[in-house]
């Protein structure tokens, strides 16, 4: 599970998540149950951002791994041709 360290500020009818400000009515800022729900949703958005970042990292890792395998195979084929184990027609 992801932890999020999002500071939410509610002032002048706006709620912020990092650099993003969302316009909401001032009475929503004063409604504790609604604010708790909004904070939960905003927190989950932070979790989704982290999850997407992790997925991108995993995709890049797998891509690099596959590239390394292909380069190794290419080197092996070139070596086989050079040593005469494989004849190119």
Query: Three-class SS of residue 17?
Result: strand
pLDDT of residue 72: 94
Q: In the numeric block, which tokens belong to residue 70?
A: 């292909």
Sheet with strand 14-17: strands edge to edge: 8-11, 14-17, 20-23
* Whether the Cβ atoms of residue 51 and residue 4 lie closer than 8 Å to each other: no
Looking only at Cα atoms, what is the longest distance across the chain?
81
Q: What is the mean pLDDT of each run of 10 residues along the chain (89 residues)?
A: 49 56 65 79 78 91 96 90 74
Q: What is the pLDDT of residue 62?
A: 95
pLDDT of residue 63: 96
What's residue 4's pLDDT? Answer: 47
């Amino acid at each position: 599970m992801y932890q999020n360290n999002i500071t939410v500020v509610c002032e002048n009818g706006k709620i912020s998540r990092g650099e993003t400000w969302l316009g909401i009515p001032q009475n929503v800022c004063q409604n504790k149950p609604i604010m708790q729900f909004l904070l939960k949703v905003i927190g989950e958005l932070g979790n989704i951002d982290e999850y997407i970042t992790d997925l991108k990292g995993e995709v890049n890792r797998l891509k690099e791994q596959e590239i390394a395998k292909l380069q190794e195979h290419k080197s092996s084929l070139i070596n086989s041709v050079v040593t005469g184990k494989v004849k190119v027609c």
